[in-house]
Chain A
Amino acid sequence: MLKNYLKVAVRYLLRYKTYTAINILGLAVGITCCLLIMLFVRSEFSYDQFHNKVNRIYRVSQHEKYEGQDFVNTVTPLSMASVIQQAYPEVESSCRVFAFNRLVKVGNNSFNEDIRMVDSTFFRVFDFKLLQGDKENPFPNASSVILTNEIAKKYFGNNADVIGKQLLIEVGDEKILFTVSGIAEPNPEESSIRYKLLIPYANAKYMFGPNAFTSWFNVQSETYLVLKEKTNMAALEAKFPAMIKTQLGEDYKEGAFNLRLQPLTAIHLDTSLPAGNEPISNPKYSYILSTIGILLLLVACINFITLSVGRSSSRAMEVGVRKVMGAERRQLIRQFWGEAFLLTLFSVVIGIVLAFVFLKPFNNLTDRNLSIQFDFGLIFFCTGLMATIAIIAGIYPAVILSGFKPIEVLKGKLKMKGNNWLRQSLVVGQFVASIAMIVCTIVISQQMKFLQNKDLGYTKKQVIVVPTNKSRKEGLSLAQLYQTELLKHPEVADVAISLYSFNENAWIEMGITDDKKVYHSFQFNAVMPEFIKTMGIKLKEGRSLDATNQADLTQSALVNEAFVNEFGLKNPVGKKLPGKFDQQIVGVVKDFNYQSLHTKVRPLMMVVMPDSAFRRSENISYDFPPQPRISVRMKTANAVANLAVLEKAWKTVVPNQDFDYKFLDESIAAQYKSEQRTNAIVKIASILSIFIACMGLFGLATLAVVRRTKEIGVRKVLGAGVGSIVGLLSKGFVKMVAMAAIIAFPLAWWFMNDWLKDFAYKVNISWWVFALSGIAALLVALFTVSLQAIKAALTNPVKSLRTE
C-alpha cells in the first residue's frame, strides 16, 4: 500500500514539474531561513548554560537613587564580594571579574589586549576549561597570568612550552613582569564572561586608589555569587538592606541604595540592566528574526495549499475513482498527507543543504560564529518542522478532497464553491506579509541613509583616530610627541589631542549640584584647544579655547547649547560654571552629535586640563578608559598611503608599541551595526517573501489558464483581443494584491513607528513609501500573472476548442 502511495506521489510530482518545483523550492527557502534563524536564536537563548552551578550563580547589581534619578550598575564595589560572603552563610563562594584594556609586552613586541582580573575562585565558580595549570590554585602568586591557547600561540608561536614564560603588563602606573601559570581554553561562544588573559585580583592595589577598596559608592568590578543549594534568591535579597545599613553608616538613606541578584543565565538578554563587562543583546532582535522566519515559512506553506486547492478538480476525479474501487476515507487521507510529507522531506533536505551554503554569509550578517551540528536539538527541530509543514500543507487535500462524494465528482456535479474564498484569503495573506516587509525595507533604508548623511555638527571626513592606549599623563606626553612628528608630514592637514574622540560613543559622565541645589548630569571631555578647529565644531557665541593663553589651560571651559539649557544659564559667556566648578565659560559651541543618533545631544562641558573638574564633580563614570586619543585629519582620502604615513610616524615615536587606529567614518557607521544588520535581513526577507509569493501566484495563474482554456478560446473566436484576455485573467489577482496592500500598510506603519522609537533623530514615514511598496508588489504580481496570461491569449483558439 505504501509503495503504491509513494509511486503515485512521485509520479504526480514529476508530472506537474512546475507545481512541484514551486512547492519544493519555496519550502526549501523557507526552511533554510528557519534553520539559520533557529541556530541564531538558540545561541542567543543558551548563553551561560554550560556551567555546572548555572542555577546557583548570580551577578550582583547595584541600584541607587540620587537626587530623584536612578543609577543602576552591574559593576559593583570591590569590597562587596567579601562583605556579602562573610555576612551570609548561604553564599557558598564568590568571584569578581574586572575588565580592562592595556598594553602587553612580550619580548620586543607590544600588544593592546583585553585583560580580566579575577579572583582565584574563577575556575571553581565557572566551568571554563583549564588545559594546563591548577584549577584550585590557578595563580600561585600575584604576578601569575593565565592565557588562552590562542593568545599563547599568538605570543610564543605554535610549539613552545608556554608555562613559565614571562610577559610585561602595565597595571595602573606600574609595569609588572607576569609569569604564565596556566593555559585555558577560550570561553565558549555563548558566554557572558569572556577572557583572553587572566590575572589575579592581588593586582588591584596598582589600579585603584585606597578609597576604592572600602567605598560602596565606587563601582568597578562585576561580582558573581554562588549560592548554596536550595537557597531562595529572593529571601537573600530581602536580607540585604540591613547589611547595607551597617556598611554605609551615616551615608545610609532609606531605600536609596539597594542590591539585587541577577541569574547568570539572564544576563545576556536582560536589557533592563546595563551591560557589565560584556555587551548584552536585545531579545527583540531574536523576536524579529523568528517572526521573519515563521512568516517566510507560512508564505511557502500557503503556496502548497493554494496550489492544492487550484488542482483539486483534477485530483477530485482520482478521489472518486479510488472510492469507487473501495478506498476508504482514512486511506485517502493517509495518501494525501503522505504526498505532502514526501514533498516536505525533499524540501527539508534541500533546505539543509542550502543552510550549509548560506551559513557563512549568515554568520557575517549576524556577526556570530554559528555552526550546523546534527545534534539532538537540530534533528528534533528539523523533524518537528517537517511534521508541522506537512500537516499544514497537506491539510486541504487530506481533509477536504478525501471527503468528496464519488458520485458527484465522477458525474462532474461537484462545484468548487467556497474554495475560492479560502484560496483568495491565503494569497492575500502572502501579499500582506510581502508588502509589509517591502515597506519596512524602504523605511529602514531611509533611516540608515539619514543616519549616514545627517550633519553631525563636526566634520568626520578623512579623519583617522589613533589611541595611545596609555594612562592620561603618559598618554598625553606620547600624544604630543606624535603630534609634533605628524605635523612634519605634508599629507597631514591637522592633528588634535583629546581625552576622547568620536570613536567612543560616550564620554565621561559627570554630575554636579547647581546653585539652586538641583542635581544635573552631563558629559565631559578634556580637549587640547586645536580640537575644536580640527574637528570643525562651530562656535555659537564667545570664543574658542586658545593654546597661547595660559589661563585657558586650567581656568576656561567650553559648553554646548544643551548644557546652557540644562542649567538654565542666561548670557553664559564670561560666567563661572555652575556648582563647585571654578572654571569660567569662555564660549558656547553649537550642539554636535558626539554620541550616536539614538540619543539626543546631551549637555557637554569641555576643558583643557581636567584635574580640577575631576576633583569637583560629584559623580564620575565612563564606559571607555580615559586614555588620550589623537585625531588626525588628512589632506586626501587615500587610506593606504595615509596609514603608511601615520604608522611610520608612530614607529619613530614609540617603536615598540603596536600602531592602533580607526577611521572615524567607519567607527561612526559601526554605531549603527545592529540597525545595518536588521536592514540587510529585512531586505533579504522581503525579496524572498515576494519571490515565494509570486511563485505561488505563477502556479495559480497557470491553473487558472488551464481551467479557462475553453472560455478563452470562445472569447477569442468572438473577437476578444490579447489585451482584454490578459486583463480578464489578471483582474482577480490584481484585486487580491490591492486588498493585501490595504491590510499591510497599517501593520507596517505600526512596526516601523515602533522601530524608529530607538532613534532620537529619525525620518518621517511618508505616504509615498506605501504607494511605492504597493505599486512595486502590484507590478511584480502583474508581471508574474501576465507571463501565463499572454501565453494563453496568444494561443490559437482552434487548438483549445478542438481538444474538447
Chain B
Amino acid sequence: MVGGKPNFILKDVNATVNEGEFLSIMGPSGSGKSTLLNVIGMLDEFNEGEYRFFHEEVHRMKEKQRSNLYKQYIGFVFQAYHLIDELTVYENIETPLIYQDVKSSERKAMVADILDRFNIVGKKDLFPTQLSGGQQQLVGIARALIARPKLILADEPTGNLNSKQGEEIMNLFKQLNEEGVTIIQVTHSEKNAGYGKRIIHLLDGRIEKEE
C-alpha cells in the first residue's frame, strides 16, 4: 500500500494454460513475471481472484492441501540452481522423493533412470560446487523432474549460463514438452522465449499481449 491506494503487483491477469503447453512469460524487470510464476507454483499467495489447477480451486484450499497438490504435480527450476551444497548430485535429485515418502528401492531406480537419461551418471557422487553452471542446472532440472511432475515452472533457467549451455537446457525443455510435460518459463530473452508455443508479455502486472 502506498499513499492509501492498493498497489497491485499483478492485476487483471486472466490466462488459461492447457496441459502439454510450453508457455513463455516475458516482460521487463518488475513487471510481475516471477510473482506470476510463484503464484502458479503455489509458493506465493494472492489476495484476490481465482486459480484453478486441474479443476481444483486452489484459492479455497488450505495450506496442507495446496502443499500436497503441489508436491504431486509441480517441479521448480531456478536461475541460481539452488542445489543443496552438502548433498551430492545423487542425493540432491533424490530429496524430493524422500519428502514424498517413496520407498528406498524405488527411489534408487528412479534416480538411476534420470541420471542415465541426463548423462550424468559419472557425476552422481560429486558435490554441486564441483560442477559447472550448466551441469548444475542440469541437476536442478533432473531434481525438478524426478517426482514426474505434470508441470515444470522455470524462473530464468538459463540466466546464469553462457549461450551454449543455455541452448542445451532449452533443447532439453523442448524435448520434455514433446514428451507431454507442461512447461511455463519466465525469461528475458526473445530467443529462449521462442522455444515456447505461446508467449505472454507482462507490463506493470498486466498482460500486455499474447502471441
| A7 CA / B84 CA spacing, docked (Å) | 12
Is residue B87 within 8 Å, beta carbon to beta carbon, of the partner chain?
A: yes
Q: Assess the A8–B99 pair: CB atoms within 8 A.
A: no
- Is A4 a contact of B78 with CB atoms below 8 Å? no
A7 CA / B70 CA spacing, docked (Å): 27
Q: Does B131 contact A (CB under 8 A)?
A: no
A407 interface hit (Cβ, 8 Å): yes
Residues of chain A lying within 8 A (CB to CB) of residue B44: 407
Does B132 sit at the interface, judged by CB under 8 A? no
Q: Would B82 and A320 count as touching, CB distance under 8 A?
A: yes
Our pick among B71, B82, B87, B100 for the contact of A317 (Cβ within 8 Å) is B82
B91 touches A325 (CB 8 A): no
A1 to B143 CA separation, bound complex (whole angstroms)? 17
Which residue in chain A gives the minimum CB-CB distance to B44?
A407
Q: Is B86 located at the chain interface by the 8 A CB criterion?
A: yes
Q: Once the chains bind, are B38 and A322 in contact (CB under 8 Å)?
A: no
A11, A321, A328, A410, most chain B CB atoms within 10 A: A321
Tell whether A170 is near chain B: CB-to-CB under 8 Å: no
A140–B158 Cα distance when bound, in Å, is 101
Smallest CB–CB gap between B67 and chain A, Å? Answer: 7
Residue of B nearest to A4 (CB): B98
Q: Does the CB pair A4–B82 fall under 8 Å?
A: no
B86 touches A15 (CB 8 A): yes
Q: Which of A7, A8, A321, A326 contacts B71 (CB 8 A)?
A: A326
Interface string of A402-418 (1 = CB under 8 A from B): 00001100110000000
A7 partner, pick from B78, B80, B91, B96, beta carbons under 8 A: B91
Are A321 and B99 in contact, CB atoms less than 8 angstroms apart? no
Asked whether any CB of chain B lies closer than 8 Å to the CB of A627, the reply is: no
CB of B66 to closest CB in A, whole Å: 12
Bound-state CA distance A410–B35 (Å) is: 13
CB distance from A300 to the nearest CB of B (A): 25
Structural contact, B38 and A407, CB atoms closer than 8 A: yes
Tell me whether A410 and B98 are in contact (CB under 8 A): no
Report yes or no: B78 in contact with A8, Cβ–Cβ below 8 A: no
A325 & B86 in contact (Cβ 8 Å cutoff): no
With A324-B76, A326-B70, A326-B100 as known contacts, state yes or no: A4 contacts B95, CB within 8 Å: yes
Contacts of A324 in B (CB 8 A): 43, 76, 82
In the complex formed, the residue of A with least CB distance to B43 is: A407
What 0/1 pattern do residues 81 to 124 of B give for CB contact below 8 A with A?
01111110001001110111000000000000000000000000
In the assembled complex, which residues on chain A have CB atoms less than 8 Å from the CB atom of B71?
326
Looking at chain A, what size class is its interface with the partner chain? 20 to 34
Interface string of B181-209 (1 = CB under 8 A from A): 00000000000000000000000000000
| Closest-CB distance, A24 to chain B (whole angstroms) | 18
Q: Are B67 and A318 in contact (CB under 8 A)?
A: no
Report whether A322 and B95 are in contact in the complex, using a CB–CB cutoff of 8 Å: yes
The distance in angstroms between the C-alpha atoms of A328 and B94, with both chains bound, is 16
Cβ-closest chain B residue relative to A321: B82
| Complex Cα gap A325–B84 (Å) | 11
Query: What separation, in Å, do the CA atoms of A324 and B82 have in the docked complex?
Result: 10
B98's contact among A1, A12, A406, by CB below 8 Å, is which? A1
* In contact, A321 and B86 (Cβ under 8 angstroms): no
Task: Please indicate the chain A residues that have their CB under 8 angstroms from the CB of B147 in the complex.
Answer: 326
Interface size class of B (residues with CB under 8 A): 20 to 34
B86 in contact with A8 (CB, 8 Å) = yes
Residue A236 lies at the interface, judged by CB distance under 8 Å to chain B? no
Interface residues of A in 48-78 (CB under 8 A from B): none
Q: Is the CB of A328 within 8 A of B91?
A: no
Complex: chain B residue closest to A325, CB-CB: B96
- Select which of A12, A326, A407 is within 8 A of B99 by beta carbon: A326
B residues 29-49 near A (Cβ < 8 Å) are 34, 38, 43-44
Q: Is B86 touching A328 in the complex (CB atoms < 8 A)?
A: no
| Cα-based distance from A318 to B38 in the complex (angstroms) | 18
Contact with B along A1-28 (1 / 0, CB 8 A): 1001001100110010000000000000
Known A-B contacts A8-B86, A15-B86; A325 and B99 likewise in contact (beta carbons under 8 Å) = yes
Q: Is A328 a contact of B99 with CB atoms below 8 Å?
A: yes
Which residues of B are found within 8 Å of A422, using beta-carbon distances? none
Say yes or no: is A142 at the interface (Cβ < 8 Å to chain B): no
Give A15 to B78 CA distance when docked, in angstroms: 25
In the complex, chain A residues whose CB is within 8 Å of the CB of B100: 326
CB-CB nearest in chain A for B104? A3
What residues on A are CB-neighbors of B94 within 8 Å?
Answer: 4
Contacts of B38 in A (CB 8 A): 407
Of A8, A324, A328, A411, chain B has the most CB atoms within 10 Å of the CB of A324
Interface on chain A toward B: helix, strand, loop, or mixed SS?
Answer: helix
**Complex: A12 Cα to B91 Cα, angstroms:** 14
- Asked if A684 CB lies within 8 Å of chain B CBs, one says no
| Contact A328/B67 with A4-B91, A406-B43 known, Cβ cut-off 8 Å | yes
Determine if B78 and A410 form an interchain contact, defined as CB atoms under 8 angstroms apart: yes
Residues of A within 8 A of B43 (CB): 324, 406-407
Q: Given known contacts A407-B43, A410-B82, is B99 in contact with A327 (CB within 8 Å)?
A: yes
Cα distance, A586 to B82, chains bound together (Å): 98
Contact with B along A441-481 (1 / 0, CB 8 A): 00000000000000000000000000000000000000000
Task: Determine whether the beta carbon of A326 is less than 8 Å from that of B91.
Answer: no
Q: Which residues in window 322-364 of A have CB below 8 A to B?
A: 322, 324-328, 331
Inter-chain contact A326/B86, CB cutoff 8 Å: no
How long is the Cα–Cα vector from A1 to B104 in the complex, in angstroms? 9
Contacts of A15 in B (CB 8 A): 85-86
List the A residue with the shortest CB-CB distance to B127: A11
Write the chain B residue with the least CB distance to A12.
B86
Task: Name, among B44, B86, B94, the residue most crowded by chain A CB atoms within 10 Å (CB to CB).
Answer: B86
The chain B residue sitting closest to A320, CB to CB, is B82
Q: How far is the CB of B203 from chain A (nearest CB, A)?
A: 21
Taken together as a complex, chains A and B put the C-alpha atoms of A317 and B100 apart, in Å, by 21
CB B105 to nearest CB in A, in angstroms, measures 14
Is A322 touching B84 in the complex (CB atoms < 8 A)? yes
Query: With the chains together, A322 CA to B96 CA distance in Å?
Result: 8
Bound state CA distance, A788 and B82, in angstroms?
A: 29
Cβ–Cβ < 8 Å partners of B85 in chain A: 15
Binary flags per residue of A304-316, CB closer than 8 Å to B gives 1, else 0: 0000000000000
Beyond A7-B91, A407-B38, is A326–B84 a contact (Cβ under 8 Å)?
no
- Bound CA span A11–B85, Å: 10
Q: How far is the CA of A97 from the CA of B30 in the complex (A)?
A: 92
Residues on B with C-beta less than 8 A from A320 are 82
CA distance A725 to B100 in the complex (A): 49
Taking a contact as CB atoms under 8 Å apart, the answer to whether B83 and A326 are in contact is no
- Chain A residues closer than 8 Å to B76, beta-carbon distance: 324-325
Residue of A whose beta carbon sits closest to that of B34:
A411
Q: How far is the CA of A1 from the CA of B95 in the complex (A)?
A: 9
Complex contacts, A325 vs chain B, CB 8 Å: 76, 95-96, 99, 143
Most chain B Cβ neighbours within 10 Å, of A320, A322, A324, A325: A325
Question: Which A residue's beta carbon lies closest to that of B71?
Answer: A326
List residues of chain B with CB within 8 A of the CB of A322: 84, 95, 99
**Contact A331–B84 (Cβ < 8 Å):** no
Question: Which residues from chain A contact B99 at a C-beta distance below 8 Å?
Answer: 322, 325-328, 331
Q: Mark each residue of chain B from 122 to 151: 1 if its CB lies under 8 Å from any CB of chain A, else 0.
A: 000000000000000000000100010000
User: Bound complex: CA of A278 vs CA of B95, how far in Å?
Assistant: 66
Contact with A along B36-65 (1 / 0, CB 8 A): 001000011000000000000000000000
Contacts of A321 in B (CB 8 A): 82-84
Query: In the complex the two chains form, what is the Cα distance from A579 to B143 in whole Å?
Result: 102
Question: CA of A317 to CA of B99 in the docked complex: distance in angstroms?
Answer: 17
Closest to A15 in B: B86
Chain B residues contacting A8 (CB-CB under 8 Å) are: 84, 86-87
Task: Please give me the 8 A-B residue pairs with the lowest Cβ-Cβ distance, nearest first.
Answer: A326-B99, A326-B71, A11-B86, A325-B96, A407-B43, A321-B82, A327-B99, A324-B76
A-B contact pairs, 28 of them (CB 8 A): A1-B98, A4-B91, A4-B94, A4-B95, A4-B98, A8-B84, A8-B87, A12-B86, A15-B85, A317-B82, A318-B84, A321-B83, A322-B84, A322-B95, A322-B99, A324-B43, A324-B82, A325-B76, A325-B96, A325-B99, A325-B143, A326-B67, A327-B99, A328-B99, A331-B99, A407-B38, A410-B80, A411-B34
